Structures are given as C-alpha cells and as structure tokens.
Amino acid sequence: MPKGMITGPQPDAVEAGAEILRAGGNAVDAALACAFVQTVVDPMMCGIAGFGAMQVLMPGKGVHEIIDFHGQVPAAATPDMWEDRILGETDDGFGFILEGAVNDLGHQAITTPGTLKAFAQASQRYGTLPWGDLIERAMRFARDGYTLTPGVQNYWTAPDTPGRVNVLDRLGYSAEGRAVYFDEAGTVRQIGDTICNPGMASSLERIARDGPEVFYTGEIAHQIDADMQAHGGLLSARDLADYDTQTDAPLWGSYRGLPFSTNRPPGGGIMLIEMLNILENFDLAAMGHNTPDYIRTVAEAMKIATTDKDAHVGDPRFYDVPMDRLTDKAYAASHAEAIARGEKAHVERLGTSESPGTTHVVTADAAGNIVTMTHTLGMMSGVITDGLGFMYNGAMGVFDPRPGRAGSIAPGKSRFSSLCPTIVFDGDKPILALGAPGGTQIAMGVLQVMMNVIDFGMTPQEAILAPRFSATSDAITVTARIPRYLCAELEALGYAIDRSAYSYAIASVHAIGFDADGNPSGGADIPYGDGMALAV
C-alpha cells in the first residue's frame, strides 16, 4: 500500500508535489512545490501575492501548528474611506459592492500579501529539501509554458457573478495580463493552448536565488512600491517590510466523539465547529442523505453559523470574537432545539458572491506527516506589475466599509475568510485531512464531506462526489443533481430554492482519508475542475 499521497485541483501541480515525495521530500516539501506550481498554472485562483492558511501535523517531531497568512489592510487605509460609496452587499454576504468597484478591482483592492512569507517559513521550519528545489518546477512551467486546462479556462470564461467584476476583466486588467492570457486579437487563450509567463519566471528565479526577502524588502518590493505609488494603491514598501504571519495551535472541535483540528479566526474553522455542534444533536443517518429533512436541518445550521459569523467573527487582534460561546455545545443545542421545532433562521443582507478564486492542497508522507493548506487571491485585484508576472490579491473587497463592525477596515487587520483546512482524528490517529477552495462556500463544502464520511460511511472520493447544497442567505442553493421533487418538498415548507446550473459546485473539496494502519486514500473534486489524487 502507498504511504504517501497528494491531492489538489491542478494535475500539473499535484504531479510536481508527487515528484518531491518520490525524491525523498516530506509532506511539507511536497505541499509547497505543489503550491508554487498552482500559482503558475492556475493564476486566478492563487498567487505568491495572495493569502491563506496551512495546517501542519508532524507527529514524530511533536509539531501540530497552523500558519495563518491572511492579507492585512495597508497602513494608508482608514475605517471610513469607502463609507459613502456603498451600493450593496453580495448575496452570500462575503463582500461589499462599492461605486467604481474600488475595493474589488485595481490597486486599492490589494492587501499586504502573506503567501510567500508563509511558504518560506514552512520550508525553514518543517521542510527537508532546499528552497530552490521547491520552486524549480514552477519556474519551468512559467518559463517553458504549461497547457491551459478545461477547468482553468472554464473559470476564466464563466458567467458574471452578480455585483462583481467578471473574471475576464480581471484577467485582462493589466497590460501584462493581456499579453500573457490573451492572443493578439484580444481573445482569451483557449483550452490546450500553451501559456508562457516570462515575468513570473523571472520573479520566481529571483525568489529562488535570493529568498523571500527579495519580495518583502528587496528589489521586487521596490518594484511593487513604485507601481502602487504610481497608481494610487494603498500598499507600500513599509507594509511589505512589516508583514508577518501568525503561528498558532489549532482550534479544536469534536463531532460524534471524533476530535478535529481546524484554524482560528479570521479563518472559517469556527463556523465549521458551530455547524457540527448543532448537527451532532440530530440522527442525520436516519434522516437519509440529502432528503428534504436532512437538507432543511443542515441548511438551518449553515444559516445560524453564517449569521453569527457576520455579527461576531473578525480578526481577533482587532475585535473581541466570542469564541467560547460560538464553540459551546450547549449554545449549539439550543439552536438545534429551534431547528427541531421547525423554526427558520434569518440571514440579514444589505441586498444587491465571493469569487471561488482559491485553491487547496493536501499531502501525506510515509512518516505520518500531513499538510492541508488553502491559499488564494480572494477576488483577484487584476493588477500585475510590469515585469513581475504575478497577480495581487483583491482582499479589500470583503472588508465592511461601515466602521465599528467585526469586519470593518483597520490598518494591519485581516479579513474573515471561509478557509478551514481541517484534520479529523480517531483518538490520536488522523482519519481524514481535507479543505477546499470556493469562497464563502468553503466551510459548507468541507462540512458536508466530513458528514458524508462520518455519518454515512463514504470513502473520501464518494464523499466529495455526492451532491452538495448551501445556505448562506435565506435561500437554499442546490446543485443540479439534487432532484426537483425533493426541492418541491422544501418549497412547500416555505424555503426559497436557488437551483444551480452546475452539477458540481459548493466549494471544490479535496481530501485524504486514512485506514487503521495509516494507509492513505485520496479524493479529488474531479468534475468541478481538473482535480487529481496521486499515491506515491
């Protein structure tokens, strides 16, 4: 049986990580090599100027930590700078729509990025291979070219998200974006085309040679600073130099006696804990998978956690998050009683969805080390500094432009995100490691895959392929493989049903399960993108 495994949404990146495992690297090395390639071959989902969260478990070294590398508000920002430009809130509650889309597209949308700093710290603390070896495959793809896959190209050309700048406009916002991702006639590159990104190759070569310092305090930092000054950006050289990640012990929850570790706010792990605490009070297996009663019950837990997140969850360095209450099983039981009575939670919205511009990687090696990491650009700012090749995050779009709230703007503050890289245990043995891209739907997708495995005995692949649904507003969004006759029963109970055109949606979960002997079994969200799991 294989002892090592890696899974993620991009085959080229997964293969790069598998090559590292085959060469003797550990799970951290493999995750980082995979992630670097992801930033090249799926450049709207993630990038070295992005943010995220990485859970690292190394039992043999006594290490179990989460590196939080959320983007931070630049020092030039103020809490009320966009207060008079509000047009509305996205339907899923994960972002605000402002006049001129200043928070969503362009230089003011960018927060101080943490991805590259986190990759370097993980390599230094936990890795075994040289830093340059982890970047070499990404450099090769950027320099020599990679093949544009259906999953990536379909995302670029997907229908507009209401209230958001579309992906194609982000892709072609900068001159370098137009040169790399469009042909001479101005048409976006097609499936099967070879894409070379010489600017990205040059940046990665400098980072491999000079380390992350070149990005945060060196030559690349000076190029970034000059671009931001020239175009009215908030980000500065000082923000880059001052940035650091946070390393914490995981946040722990339990579901049906199985402990699980996840990330702390401003990440989405707290939502996962609250939802599972509520749902633990129901016999979901007896209800039946995706029956109307099951969907109603789970959707209500989703709505309750969404409401609590909107009201109470932000960066704990700036806002007092009521952690004890939101993770309390008695608090959850009171909500479960209301659900059992047939009560409906209400999710408040201003009116007028976060782009699923995110990616994930899960790795495991023969020594029992596990990494589960989600990294992202958020909504993608569209900005590429001439000659650098990489796009910056657009994470300012999720901050609340109204002062005095959990998600309000403040210098140095990180935004809430639904990222929740998670590991489930049976005693002290890992049985499932998972996470997902998918914007505000991440916690909802991870939740359902965990329940599919724990409550319904599915394998990781079966659990990922099962149809999903979500409720981050008063409506329940269902994917196209949930039958209409089941939805009709929910409508008869007074629920609005938003039927997706897609058979697979609600995050793109990737997972590795482990049997009693520690042997891995991978699951990839194949239909939603180009996902792949490789055993080594």
What residues act catalytically? 358
Give the C-alpha separation, 211 to 216, whole Å: 10
Q: Which amino acid is at 217?
A: T
Q: What share of residues in the chain are helix, strand, coil (percent, to 5)? A: 40, 20, 45
Residue 409: name the closest of 189, 36, 98 by CA.
98
Say if residues 126 and 58 touch (Cβ distance below 8 Å). Answer: yes
Q: Calculate the alpha carbon distances from 59 to 122, 368, 381 in Å.
A: 16, 7, 39
Residues in contact with 187: Cβ distance below 8 Å, sequence separation at least 6, in sequence order: none
The values of phi and psi at residue 480, to 5°, are -70, -15
Q: Three-state DSSP class for 150? A: helix
Q: Three-state DSSP class for 227? A: helix
Residue 149: name the closest of 530, 535, 536 by CA.
530
Give the C-alpha separation, 376 to 380, whole Å: 9
Neighbour count for residue 293 (Cβ, 10 Å)? 15
Give the C-alpha separation, 421 to 69, whole Å: 13
Residue 399: name the closest of 331, 316, 315, 456 by CA.
315
Helices (H), 243-391: 269-279, 284-287, 292-312, 323-326, 329-340
The structure tokens listed for 230 are 């020239």
Q: Calculate the alpha carbon distances from 478 to 257, 301, 383 in Å.
A: 29, 16, 34
Say if residues 41 and 147 touch (Cβ distance below 8 Å). Answer: no
Say whether the peptide bond before residue 2 is cis (omega within 30 degrees of 0).
no
First-last CA distance in the chain: 9
